[in-house]
Structure 1
Amino acid sequence: MKLAPWLDETWRSLSERLQHGRLPHALMLSGAGGLGKRALADALVAAALCESRGGDGYACTRCRSCLLMAAGSHPDRVHLSFEMRDDGKTPRTEIVIEQIRNLSQRLSLSSQFGGMQMAIIDPADRMNPSAANALLKTLEEPSGSTMLVLVSDQPSRLPATIRSRCQRIQINPPGHAQAVEWLRGQGIANADAERALTAMLGNPGRARDALADDTLSLRSECLRDLQALSGHRARALTVAEAWAADRPDQRLWHAAVLVREDAIQLAQGSRGTLGLTGPAEIPKLAAWFAAANRSRELLATQVRSDLVVLDLLHTWQTPRSS
């Protein structure tokens, strides 16, 4: 397994600590999605369970443990994420207490291979309050032969009591030049790499994915819709219905980024692209940017997506009707 180059320093530190037995019983990998946290967690777990690690700290991929890892059947590795609902048709949107209780019970048993037991909880910030409280009991009474790896895009959603009991490693986006170079190494043209990085706030993983699934086309649609709402050439209800019916989370992301870019342009004395006029609009843009991000979080709940989007778009248009 080869990690992204901006993770090299983090990997060297983790693999050295693993070699000397200095890893904590609970580790939290945090940062925006698309930066390789999950690949890092997988690499660490594989290395911890490998019977013959290489000089670079990575798992050998050939021993009994590695072969079981590749098959997804290693008895000392647990990966806890969303399970299916009781109907067996749709996945849950949160990690529930039963999952944590089952995990704690499993970790209380001895390792089947006589080494470490490794558990990944991903996304950890989607544990509901009861699940988080149950995990806290496990964190307060750690076993010397177990390690928990929590993966979180939004660690602020976790209780402070859990965050304080985990050693946190923050994964940040790489520099622009390194991000472009990495995207070019993925076979992406320089112009496309620059365009995607702008749209995805410098996140190379998300930029690659946006180019692969053509979600960047949504950016121009969102720009057109916000301009139409600003100029009262469209109704918030009509636009909200269209956004809610087709990738609402991604549309809200692009809308928030466009608003952020407008605020920067206005602060620099330039005219924005959304039909706004000057620096007096900047506080409104900042408030709407924050509201858009809160709305994206609501989309992961049971609240109706069309109502979430309508409420947000209504706040975009209403202040401009006066």
Structure 2
Amino acid sequence: MTLVPWHAEHWARLQARRQRDALPHALLLVGAVGLGKRAFARRFVLGLLCSEPVDGDSCGHCRSCLLFAAGTHPDVISLTFGVRKDGVQRSEIVVDQIRELSARLAMSSQFGGWQVATIDPADAMNAAAANALLKTLEEPAAQTMLILLADAPWRLPQTIRSRCQRIEFHLPATADALAWLQAGHEPDPAAALAAAGGNPGLAQAWAQAGALDRRLEVRKDLAALAAGRGQPLEVVKRWLDNEPAQRLWFAAQAVADEVKARSAQGVGPLASAMDVEALGGWYNAVNRTRESLRGPLRGDLLLIELLAQWH
């Protein structure tokens, strides 16, 4: 299995601990979406359960590997959003799920080795679920491994975070990220990497999904609104219909570039009438709006208010 460059150090440290028989009972993998923490976790679990691993990597052909690939390994538990009685998927991980997980981990491994449970996204546990998990973290059964994955680890209680070995994935060096994208033959890797804020996994996904066109469209929308040519309601509808959170990310980037251009040249490509201080305030408002889209508030009202301020 190919190791991306920015995983190498974490992988080496984890395998060194495995060689010393000093693996922790709980790992917390954190970092931005696109840096591959879920692929890293899958690779680690595969190697941990494999009967013939090589340098920590799975062989791919033993019974354990075949069962894992089929999704039927009896010592692997994957916990994520459940389904309510009315058939609607939950938006949080609830206490009953954690209690079932703890009861299963208290039983012996069917293969006589490790039992591994992943909780993803761990930051979606509600307060009761997080409290229920504490006992399992404090009193782990022998050869059990809990792997928590979180895009927003600050939403986890400190009591949970402090009881896990944290592995944090950071943005790689630009040269490493570009080399990785170029090896994958991605179109215009430099532009994609800039759009994704230096995140290579996000850059790859966005380049393949046409996000660079959306980025250009967002900048044209903002320039038109600043010049009094566009209609905020029409822009709101288009943004809501197609990747609104991503478009807000691009809007924040555009305003940051506007401020830089103002500082260097006295004028920016968006030609906004706002001064630099007001642009900074709108940049903060864009990021708050993007976060608010995760909640119960109506997205159209959030965007109307935001774009009305810009207009």
TM-score by length of 1: 0.89
2:17 is the counterpart of 1:17? yes
Measured after TM superposition, the shift of residue 179 of structure 1 is 0.9
2:208 is the counterpart of 1:209? no
Distance verdict in 2 for CA 1:146–1:286, change over 3 Å: farther
The answer (yes or no) to whether the contact 2:48–2:56 under 8 Å persists in 1 is no
Aligned residue for 2:44, secondary structure, equals helix
2:292 is the counterpart of 1:293? no
In 2, Cα distance between equivalents of 1:132 and 1:287: 35
2:39 is the counterpart of 1:43? no
1:266 match: 262
Equivalent residue letter for 2:18: L
In 1, Cα distance between equivalents of 2:258 and 2:202: 21
2:166 is the counterpart of 1:172? no
The answer (yes or no) to whether the contact 2:26–2:137 under 8 Å persists in 1 is yes
Measured after TM superposition, the shift of residue 261 of structure 1 is 2.4
The answer (yes or no) to whether the contact 1:75–1:112 under 8 Å persists in 2 is yes
How do residues 101-120 of structure 1 correspond to structure 2 at under 5 angstroms? 101-120=99-118
How do residues 162-311 of structure 1 correspond to structure 2 at under 5 angstroms? 162-189=160-187, 192-269=188-265, 271-276=267-272, 280-281=275-276, 283-311=277-305
The answer (yes or no) to whether the contact 1:197–1:207 under 8 Å persists in 2 is yes
Measured after TM superposition, the shift of residue 98 of structure 1 is 2.4
Measured after TM superposition, the shift of residue 87 of structure 1 is 4.0
Measured after TM superposition, the shift of residue 269 of structure 1 is 4.7
In 1, Cα distance between equivalents of 2:140 and 2:284: 38
In 2, Cα distance between equivalents of 1:300 and 1:64: 41
Aligned residue for 1:208, secondary structure, equals helix
In 2, Cα distance between equivalents of 1:214 and 1:86: 38
Measured after TM superposition, the shift of residue 226 of structure 1 is 1.5
Distance verdict in 2 for CA 1:287–1:30, change over 3 Å: farther
Measured after TM superposition, the shift of residue 201 of structure 1 is 0.5
In 1, Cα distance between equivalents of 2:106 and 2:193: 45
Distance verdict in 2 for CA 1:157–1:310, change over 3 Å: farther
TM-score by length of 2: 0.92
Distance verdict in 2 for CA 1:290–1:169, change over 3 Å: farther
Measured after TM superposition, the shift of residue 272 of structure 1 is 2.2
In 2, Cα distance between equivalents of 1:142 and 1:293: 39
**1:270-315: CA deviation from partner (whole Å, max 9, x where unpaired):** 532222368x41x433333333233223323333222232233234
2:52 is the counterpart of 1:74? no
2:97 match: 99
- Higher mean alpha-carbon deviation, 193-202 vs 74-83, is at 74-83
Measured after TM superposition, the shift of residue 39 of structure 1 is 0.5
2:147 match: 149
Equivalent residue letter for 1:49: L
- Higher mean alpha-carbon deviation, 264-273 vs 147-156, is at 264-273
2:305 is the counterpart of 1:314? no
The answer (yes or no) to whether the contact 2:121–2:149 under 8 Å persists in 1 is yes
Aligned residue for 1:95, secondary structure, equals coil
The answer (yes or no) to whether the contact 1:271–1:277 under 8 Å persists in 2 is no
1:34 match: 34
Aligned residue for 1:147, secondary structure, equals strand
Measured after TM superposition, the shift of residue 208 of structure 1 is 0.6
Distance verdict in 2 for CA 1:12–1:87, change over 3 Å: same
1:320 match: none
In 1, Cα distance between equivalents of 2:168 and 2:256: 23
In 1, Cα distance between equivalents of 2:38 and 2:212: 24
Equivalent residue letter for 1:30: V
The answer (yes or no) to whether the contact 2:226–2:273 under 8 Å persists in 1 is no
Q: Any stretches of 5+ residues in structure 2 without a counterpart?
A: none
Distance verdict in 2 for CA 1:115–1:157, change over 3 Å: same
The answer (yes or no) to whether the contact 1:3–1:39 under 8 Å persists in 2 is no
Aligned residue for 2:247, secondary structure, equals helix
* Count of residue pairs brought into register by the alignment: 311
Q: Any stretches of 5+ residues in structure 1 without a counterpart?
A: 318-322
How do residues 117-136 of structure 1 correspond to structure 2 at under 5 angstroms? 117-136=115-134
Distance verdict in 2 for CA 1:20–1:311, change over 3 Å: farther
Aligned residue for 2:28, secondary structure, equals strand
Identity over the aligned pairs, expressed in percent? 49
